[in-house]
Structure 1
Amino acid sequence: MNEIASVDQLWHSIHREAEIALARDPVFGASLSSTILDHPDFAGALAHRIGARLGRSAADRARFAQLATDAFASSPDLIDAASRDLQCIAVHDPAKTTLLPPLLNFKGYVALQAFRVSNWLWRRGRNDLALLMQSLSSDQLQVSIHPSASIGTSVFLDHATGIIIGAFAVIGDDVTILQNVTIGRKTSEPDRAPKIGSGVYLGGGSTIIGSVSVGDFAKIGAGAVVEHDVPAGCTAVGIPARLANCLEPDASA
């Protein structure tokens, strides 16, 4: 999928994939009715998915699904962001070219959309409920994103286990974050949180800590610990991180 499809086009593709899956494997397909086929649109299916992954009881699942439904109705931009996030998986994950499997099975995708709902709550002063959603996402999905963070679109949480994104962190568009990544502050001041540019790749186990700016299209290597700025287009590797593929290859990160 090389071009960004509209939400309606995306939903048509997902619905068609579900129908094909049902015809191919009726046993698997039986679960697709409540998950996909019974819903009138992408927002309804996604709200159901959030409720199903966060809720520990039928009542909780219904409650969180309704909460997501309310958020999507109030802020359609959340659904546009969710559409872009899902489409970017088909672009960046070599194992997936279709949309249904990541919607059904990728917990990082659901965790990111749950964050978008919690951020919607946070911006409306419903902080306790927003933090509850963060806690449930951490417990159920192993992804903890503080609701005060800011995250762009077309973001991919790959493998999505052990990801921590702290309060007031800023993440741009088209960012890929692998497992066990930590992005957080050293102090309590909001302006001391990391700022991650667009097109950035954060390798597994990397840590970005403090008042750090990571420039557009930079790459952070697996296990790197970044405590200083990384210019746009550079690669940071090691502990402490050092810069590579830059004009100043020996500079420290």
Structure 2
Amino acid sequence: MAACIDSSRNHGAGAFCVDSCESQINTSLCKVIRFCRPSNVKPASCFSHSLQLERVEDHLWLKIREEALLDTDQEPILSEYYQTKILSHHSLESALANHLAEKLGSSSLSSDALFEVFVKALTEEDAHGIKRAILDDLKAWKESDPACLSYVHCFLNFKGFLACQAQRIAHKFWVQGRNVLAVILQSRVSEVFGVDIHPGARIGRGIVIDHATGVVIGETAVVGDNVTIFHSVTLGGTGKVVGGDRHPKIGDGVLVGAGTKVLGNIRVGDGAKIGAGSVVLKEVPSRATVVGNPDKMVRQSWQ
């Protein structure tokens, strides 16, 4: 049986159909296996990512759609909103591209043009890494943040999540040499979300930028996987180095407390925790806990 849903993108352009069958991941859900793209989106080439990633993505996207339908049942006033943002889209990539485009568009920067650029960046054959990161980010938020009501709640409302995904797209453009577009996106993200992440920064997977307001991450910064960063954090330079590699390197599984400033080309080791309001100017060992201004190590776990 097929269900047909009109696309709300670009003034109701096109429609798509979804055939369903029993999912190999969760028998309570149906797996999407065929789409007709909205008419304003050019057909994408076949994805080269693994079947496993496709299954995870399908499962999570169907879960988001299921949550959206439940929300509209509870709050019918939101039906049109959820239709536009979630239910009229055939994939997570399309919905994210649309949501970011509407957030970052302006009177002089067409949201329709941004949508085309974003959806292409998210569906090209080399987009495997970005898509995996998006999925891991959503799962990290849902698993670690008690304030995260659902996947769809994070997807639509958490500006830390949205700013991070916009930076992933901007970073792709930066690597491709499309620096002008990349820094324009950085500027719009800063204006809209209050988060300033340079497109040159390398950001891992499973990232939670909680509350997000006032977060600044410099050009040569590296953030590992499964990192949590709270509001008003700066991963910046000392001002003593002009150009070159001048920003922090954050390991996997690190927690950076609110208001923390980590300055200079220093490494924060895997599993480290930095207390709120700390100023960190020197290396932090793996699994260490540091607090204060200047920072002092108060504990180090060897497990």
TM-score normalised by length of structure 1: 0.93
2:89 to 24, 39, 43: 39
- The aligned counterpart of 1:63 is 113
Confirm or deny that 1:218 pairs with 2:266.
no
Confirm or deny that 1:167 pairs with 2:224.
no
* Residue type at the aligned position of 1:62: D
The verdict on how the C-alpha distance between 1:135 and 1:59 changes in structure 2, with shifts beyond 3 A counting, is: closer
Confirm or deny that 1:158 pairs with 2:210.
yes
2:194 to 142, 145, 152: 142
CA contact (8 A) 1:91 1:97 kept: no
Confirm or deny that 1:227 pairs with 2:281.
yes
- The aligned counterpart of 2:163 is 111
1:176-195 CA distance string (max 9 Å, x none): 00000000122234323210
The number of aligned residues is: 244
Distance in 2 (alpha carbons) for counterparts of 1:243 and 1:189: 30
Once the two structures are TM-superposed, the CA of residue 55 in structure 1 deviates from its matched residue by 1.1
Distance in 2 (alpha carbons) for counterparts of 1:33 and 1:59: 24
Confirm or deny that 1:87 pairs with 2:145.
no
After superposition, residues 178-217 of structure 1 pair within 5 angstroms as: 178-186=230-238, 187-217=241-271
Moved more, 163-172 or 72-81: 72-81
Confirm or deny that 1:53 pairs with 2:107.
no
Distance in 2 (alpha carbons) for counterparts of 1:62 and 1:79: 21
Once the two structures are TM-superposed, the CA of residue 198 in structure 1 deviates from its matched residue by 0.4
Distance in 2 (alpha carbons) for counterparts of 1:190 and 1:8: 41
Once the two structures are TM-superposed, the CA of residue 236 in structure 1 deviates from its matched residue by 1.2
- The aligned counterpart of 1:22 is 72
Gaps of 5+ in 1: 248-253
> Aligned to 1:159, what secondary structure does the other structure show?
coil
Identity of aligned residues (%): 38
Distance in 1 (alpha carbons) for counterparts of 2:150 and 2:290: 32
1:105-144 CA distance string (max 9 Å, x none): 1011110000000000000000011000000000110001
1:39-60 CA distance string (max 9 Å, x none): 0000000111111211124962
Q: Where does structure 1 differ by over 3 angstroms across 4 or more consecutive aligned residues?
A: none
TM-score normalised by length of structure 2: 0.78
CA contact (8 A) 1:167 1:190 kept: no
Moved more, 164-173 or 66-75: 66-75
Gaps of 5+ in 2: 1-52
- The aligned counterpart of 1:12 is 62
The verdict on how the C-alpha distance between 1:200 and 1:129 changes in structure 2, with shifts beyond 3 A counting, is: same
Distance in 2 (alpha carbons) for counterparts of 1:34 and 1:188: 46
Distance in 2 (alpha carbons) for counterparts of 1:240 and 1:59: 43
- The aligned counterpart of 1:250 is none
Once the two structures are TM-superposed, the CA of residue 12 in structure 1 deviates from its matched residue by 0.6
> Aligned to 2:110, what secondary structure does the other structure show?
helix
> Aligned to 2:300, what secondary structure does the other structure show?
coil
Distance in 2 (alpha carbons) for counterparts of 1:167 and 1:190: 10
The verdict on how the C-alpha distance between 1:125 and 1:58 changes in structure 2, with shifts beyond 3 A counting, is: closer
Structure ID, larger Rg: 2
* Residue type at the aligned position of 1:117: I
